[in-house]
Chain A
Amino acid sequence: MSEIARKICMLGDFGVGKTSLVARYVRNTFSDKYLTTVGVKVDSRLVSLSPDTDIKLVIWDIAGKAVLDNFNQNYLRGASGLILVADGTREASLRAALNLAMQARDVIADPACVLFVNKLDLVDRWEVTPAVLAEIRRSIAVFETSALSGDGVEAGFAELARKLAP
């Protein structure tokens, strides 16, 4: 059995649900109380890629920002993958996530990327339209997720793990 480890970073504006997505994925828990993240919290989960290969995803839940500051650039160093997170009910957060991805490429070269459009449980209040997502899907894998229900979360992380496989 071989095990490899990869660092991935959650990037997105504040309040989009990055911490909740990690809590759902790593601990299968959810809290509807909003508590802003300061700095970074590191979690990990082992994912089986094949019967004889596991990959350890070391997940950096970074404080939400619309733009990358020096602190966040420091946190990104050594990352292999990015999970961009947007809130479907806030169209501006989608633009912020895509903008963060552009800035992150100045720090890490050619990272594996997926986009989570979160709060699928509030889909009737979404400002992000299917047409916009269809356009984005042409360049990046998009997952409509709900940290509350868990919809799309496993699939999104699994897709990134597959992209990070050696």
Chain B
Amino acid sequence: MNMLPTAVETYLDNWLRARSRPLLLTFDAQWQLVDIQGDVAYHGLAAEETDGLVRQLQDLLLGLPLDQAQDLPFVELGDGRHMHVHLVPDGEQFHLLLLDARDEHGRTQAQQQLGNEAVLAGIEKSRTLARLRQIKGELEQQRAQLEEANALKNALFATLSHEFRTPLTSIFGYLHLLERDGTAVRGQALSALRRNASYLFALAENLLEYGRGEAGESLLDPAMLDLTALVADLDAMFRPLAAEKGIALVVESATAPPADALFDAVKLRQVAINLLSNALRYTVRGYVRAQIGWDGNTLRLEVSDTGLGIDAACAKKSSGRSTAARSTARAARGWDCPSSSASSSA
């Protein structure tokens, strides 16, 4: 580069010196301070107070060859000042030129801080969005569970409707007999009314027990089974309906269970009523026959009828809970699957 006019050279020299406040420290090869020049006062240094700065500079140049020029920008010194440090070899000596970088450091730091904080905020935003997506997924899952619970509740109501209808039908049947025949059948009719009323009461108890089951408590109430009484109750309950439809009804007991076999009487009765109720509902003519007995390790209830029967597809679908309710819905839609609920409930 050609030499600039002297006036410009002087101006430039003054301008650079004013901006960078150069401090020049000259050392021999053993790090003995030979000379110090520049704005010592600006840097807060007295000639006798240079030991701390020299130690810092020795640390700064640790491991670096002193006979090669080095440029270390933005070095923060112990007192918090920021300098550009230049190593300038000079024969047996070397110079360390320190240029004030305070203003430049401040501007660069402010700019870098903004950039870094923006990136960190972006990362945090991504995390928050991921968390929101996760929460949304959990809410959708909970919604699906609530919808399933609601469907189960609806199924329960349908089942209850079905369960209450059978004993009520029987009650109406006996009331009809009482009205028609007077005292002749009064005792039998009242007994049947009491049984059916008891059953309705038991159903209500069962509903409460269902609620307890939702809370994690036991659903079963095991007790000894009076098979003869159960068969008699079922026969008395369904005989009026069978007679009204002109269908032959046979309800009989086989081998009684051993004394140590325990059953939940309400649920057992509920299952038997389901089976017989459906068999009677979907049998137009002919017979319905039920047999209950102990086969060695289980209580078996077999229902046969001359109704529509059950095809393979329906039989496959008939497993699972709340089948009676689904069966009711199917019947309402005109789907002929008469015995599915009965077999699945059993």
Contact = CB atoms under 8 A, between A and B. Distances in A.
A63 B113 CA distance: 11
Q: Which of B62, B74, B76 has the most CB of A within 10 A?
A: B62
B121 to A, nearest CB: 11
A45 to B, nearest CB: 11
Interface in B38-95: 56, 59-64, 70-76, 82
B134 interface: no
Contact of B109 (A38, A42, A74, A79): A38
Contacts of B113: 35-36
B117 A7 contact: no
A105 interface: no
A35 B119 CA distance: 14
A77 interface: yes
A5 B63 CA distance: 9
B72 A74 contact: yes
Interface string B197-231: 00000000000000000000000000000000000
B108 A7 contact: no
Contacts of A40: 72, 74-76
A58 B116 contact: no
Given A39-B74, A39-B75, A78 B117 contact: no
Interface string A115-157: 0000000000000000000000000000000000000000000
A123 B60 CA distance: 35
Nearest to B60: A42
Interface string A51-85: 00000001000011000000100110111100000
| Majority SS at the chain A contact face | loop
B105 A39 contact: yes
B66 to A, nearest CB: 11
Interface in B99-138: 101, 105, 108-109, 112-113, 116-117, 119-120, 123
A95 interface: no
B129 to A, nearest CB: 15
Contact of B75 (A14, A42, A58): A42
Contact of A14 (B60, B70, B73, B116): B116
Given A74-B71, A90-B123, A36 B109 contact: yes
A6 B60 CA distance: 11
Interface residues of A, number: 25
A77 B112 contact: no
Contacts of A39: 73-76, 82, 101, 105
A41 interface: yes
B56 A42 contact: yes
B63 A78 contact: yes
A41 B76 contact: yes
B75 A44 contact: no
A78 B72 CA distance: 13
Contact of A38 (B64, B70, B105, B120): B105
Contacts of A41: 75-76
Given A39-B73, A40-B72, A42-B56, A77 B64 contact: yes
Nearest to A79: B63
Interface string A7-37: 1000000110000000000000000001110
Contacts of A90: 123
Contacts of B108: 38
A94 B61 CA distance: 29
B120 A15 contact: yes
B59 A38 contact: no
Contacts of B62: 5-7, 58, 78
A58 B74 contact: no
Interface in B294-325: none
A7 B82 contact: no
Nearest to A108: B63
A15 B74 CA distance: 19
A10 B109 CA distance: 19
A36 B120 CA distance: 12
B59 A42 contact: yes
25 contacts: A5-B59, A7-B59, A7-B62, A14-B119, A15-B116, A15-B119, A15-B120, A35-B109, A35-B113, A38-B82, A38-B108, A39-B101, A41-B76, A42-B59, A58-B62, A63-B74, A64-B116, A74-B70, A74-B71, A77-B70, A78-B61, A78-B62, A78-B64, A80-B63, A90-B123
Given A7-B59, A39-B75, A74-B72, 14 more contacts: A14-B116, A14-B119, A34-B116, A34-B117, A35-B113, A38-B82, A38-B112, A44-B59, A58-B59, A63-B112, A74-B70, A77-B63, A77-B70, A78-B62
Query: What are the 7 tightest A-B residue pairs by CB atom distance, in nearest-first order?
Result: A39-B74, A78-B63, A41-B76, A78-B64, A58-B59, A7-B62, A38-B109
